[in-house]
Amino acid sequence: MRDNHRFRMADGAELVGRQTESFEMRVSIPSDDNGFFGRQCPECSLIFRMDAQQYEALPDDLTLWCVYCGHYAEHSEFMTEQQRDRIMQAAGDFAMQMVSQELDKMFGGLARSSHSDCVSFSYESRPFYPRPLPGIDEERLVRVRTCGGCQNNYAVFGEHRYCPVCGQLPAASVAFDALQADTARLDVLEALPSDTKAVLREQGVFTRNWVDTVENVVGVVEALASSLFHAAVPNANSLLNGKGAIFQRLDPMADLIIDAGFSDVRTALGPQTWQHLLGTWAARHVFTHNDGIVDAKYLTRVPNSSARMGQRLVLTDADCRRALDDAKTLCEALVNALS
């Protein structure tokens, strides 16, 4: 192309078209070692990553979803700051050459200096050499997720609810991902050096994390059960009328599902696992509503507990891992029952 010879472009930038005085420039966006590149939400400013090869195959008029907040907009709106800096530098170097060439046209045929009583100026034309474009050094992906609907791969760096291509994720995907995140948090704390663990343990970090895990488990199951029930039962709202937070209570939830014409999730889990879950739910209740102090209601729900009235319940890493495993089994049973 003739314009390619008129303008020097840095590696990664090229002119690909022109219409009268309008130029079209293409600037490459490097992928990481795994073939992923960044997208940044224009609303919440958080970054996620997408498979570059899959992205190229998507429609040109693609609308992207932020995996975190659900904001959706034309895909070019999701440019990261580093990508924008790279493009702006290429555009700036091109603009400098445009200005320089216009000045050459204006002053190229004149003497290099001119004097009068009022004006003195000089002009010297110099060759322009573009600067190397800045690279992209954004947060590296940790784990690749694959959307069960569109099969596109993406990576996130926090809790998320959306696929960047097709939007709202299925409730089951969100639930299992949340349980895995809690397991990862337990693993990270256990992998810390002994000296660091000792300091954190003394400050109550481990205890707080175990309590949070139990509370999260109940929240994950509640959200999944509610979503699945509403999707599967046409008259869900009328059946739930007056029943309060029924998905926070295991046996009433199981009975509700049976009354709606579905199978009993207790049978799928077995009595031992169900009893462990009842203990987890009871523990969550006393920590949420009674600062962990054992009361009569807890002892009624967990009759085999060795705790006494008025004592503060103590959780362990093993308790939390068992609760997470049991919750995963319950989530699978809920999906099977209500699908």
The pTM (predicted TM-score) of the whole model is: 0.76
Tens of pLDDT, residues 138-193: 888 778 899 988 999 999 998 899 999 999 999 999 999 999 999 999 999 999 99
- Mean of pLDDT over the chain: 87
Domain ranges of the chain: 2-122, 171-338
Q: Measured between alpha carbons, how far is 40 from 124 in angstroms, rounded to an integer?
A: 43
Residue 110, token pair as written in the block:
């004149």
For residue 251, is pLDDT > 90?
A: yes
Q: Measured between alpha carbons, how far is 169 from 178 in angstroms, rounded to an integer?
A: 13
Q: What does the pLDDT average to over 292-321?
A: 92
Q: Which residue has the tokens 């009975």?
A: 255
Residue 200's pLDDT is 95
pLDDT band at 10 (very low <50, low <70, confident <90, very high): low
Residue 63: what are its φ and ψ, rounded to 5°? Answer: -105, 125
For residue 1, is pLDDT > 60?
A: no
Q: Measured between alpha carbons, how far is 34 from 109 in angstroms, rounded to an integer?
A: 54
pLDDT band at 281 (very low <50, low <70, confident <90, very high): very high
Tens of pLDDT, residues 171-182: 999 999 999 999
Determine which of 40-54, 75-89, 123-137 has the lowest per-residue pLDDT on average. Answer: 123-137
Share of the chain above pLDDT 90, in %: 65
For residue 198, is pLDDT > 50?
A: yes
Tens of pLDDT, residues 19-42: 666 677 777 788 888 999 999 999
